Amino acid sequence: MKILIIEDNAIQALYLETVVSKMGFKQIEKAHSYKQAIRLIDEFKPNLLFVDINLEEELTGIDVVKTLSGDNEIQVIYVTGNSNRHYTKQMENTTYLGYLVKPFSQGELRDLLSSVNILNQH
């Protein structure tokens, strides 16, 4: 399984990469901006996206997911430090497996991946 982490905070991106690699996933790329995410989705062809909602720019992680236009081959898990209603409402207009609120533990991530049957797909 190919995983793309879309996260503008380098430390958060590295943490997530470390955690998923410890779970056995080896094909992992990181994008730190909307443009980089779109390019890597096209070039790397990931199966799973971990998407930070706020990318510290005009376009958000939700905008990245909206560009997928119903591509059912790519699964999405949102990762956010802000779980207010504004963002959860925007997420509802996209297809996604679930979301994690930062800071999250390795156990929380493992539980989510297990509940959506991702853990056995690497």
For residue 75, the domain's CATH number is: 3.40.50.2300
Give the pLDDT mean for 41-68.
Answer: 91
pTM of the model: 0.92
Taking only the tens place, the pLDDT of each residue in 37-46 is: 999 999 999 9
Q: What pLDDT is attached to residue 81?
A: 81
Q: Judge whether 7 lies within some domain.
A: yes
Q: Residue 88's pLDDT band (boundaries 50, 70, 90)?
A: confident
Q: Is the pLDDT of residue 112 over 90?
A: yes
Q: What is the pLDDT of residues 65-77, one digit of tens each?
A: 999 876 668 999 9
Give how many domains the chain has, as a whole number. Answer: 1
Within 8 A by CB and 6+ apart from 22, the residues are 106
Domain contains 122: no
